[in-house]
Amino acid sequence: MVTVEGNRIHVLGVGDPTAPTVLLMAGAATIAPVYDFQPLMSGLENDFRVVVVEKPGYGYSDLAGSERGLDTRVEEMRSALRQAEQPPPYILAPHSMSGLEAIWWADRYPEEVAGIVGLDMSTPEAYEKQDRNLVAAIAATGHIATRVGTQRIPGLYPGMYWSTLSEADQEQQRLLLYRNAGNVAQVQESRQVFESAAELGTDKDIDPPMLLFASDGRDLGPDWLKVQKQLALRTGANLVMLDCGHAVHHCAPDRISHEMRTFALSISDSR
């Protein structure tokens, strides 16, 4: 646990401290990133230093922070990593909405980013056709619903990866679900995501080498695959299409781990 701007933030690191560092970045409203990423961490820790920063509102970190813009979130993570003695450069591995954080990070601090591995990651283009009022309403409804305890209804929040956890970790995940679901920090992130996407713009150069994993798009609508293909075309990234839903790190951790090892070697060779 480290303290950033008065908030306690949880940082977990596993694997060889001398190996390249992979920073796994959770998607929006993930209850507990250290458990959500556990299947992928298990496949990576023999070859990498694997780090997860749980932002305010996530996992074991404090439920704090009303301003949740891109700059705030990235600077929190950078400060937390420094305090936890996890130095750059990083291979950023963002899932879903944290793709915006990765693009921002690479643009502002290119010397800290060795590469980006997109886990069905979002881009600014992904928000062009979304209804911001609907997104805000869904976030607000979720917040109200969890305030009255609906997250405690058995089966309402099915966890496809829970079975991979030990009984003790499953219990921790359950308790964190009761505490974290629909909290204010996550609601604010959802409300500010359109401003974040607009601030980045759709023509931002992304210089680090990239590897992209894309879902089948069924969870996110017909435009999602188009966005993934646009990103690959714009950046020259290798695009790996997976026959699974949005949580690609749950359904294909072995494939992702294998491809990431090859990707890391290519970065090392190019340097």
**Residue 239, domain CATH:** 3.40.50.1820
Q: Which domain range does residue 106 map to? A: 2-199+206-270
Alpha helices in the chain (DSSP H): 33-36, 38-44, 70-83, 98-108, 132-147, 167-180, 184-200, 224-235, 248-251, 253-270
Q: Give the model's pLDDT for residue 64.
A: 79
Q: Give the model's pLDDT for residue 37.
A: 96
Residue type, 214: A
Of 224 and 141, the one with more pLDDT: 224
| Distances in whole angstroms, Cα of residue 211 to Cα of each of 95, 105, 108, 205 | 13, 16, 20, 15
Predicted confidence band at 248 (pLDDT cuts at 50, 70, 90)?
very high
pLDDT digits (tens, 9 = 90+) for 95-121: 999 999 999 999 999 999 999 999 999
pLDDT of 202 above 60? yes
DSSP letter (8 states) at residue 27: P
Predicted confidence band at 143 (pLDDT cuts at 50, 70, 90)?
low
List the structure tokens of 120.
């069905």
Mean local confidence (pLDDT), 217-226: 87
Structural domains of the chain, count = 1
Of 66 and 211, the one with more pLDDT: 211
Q: How far apart, in whole angstroms, are the C-alpha atoms of residue 172 and residue 112? A: 33
Mean local confidence (pLDDT), 160-180: 86
pLDDT digits (tens, 9 = 90+) for 1-33: 999 999 999 999 999 999 999 999 999 989 999
pLDDT of 145 above 70? no
| Distances in whole angstroms, Cα of residue 252 to Cα of each of 43, 94, 222, 249 | 11, 15, 22, 6
Closest C-alpha among 7, 144, 137 to residue 73:
7
pLDDT of 252 above 90? yes
Torsion sign across C-alpha atoms 86, 26, 79, 90 = positive
Mean pLDDT across the chain: 89
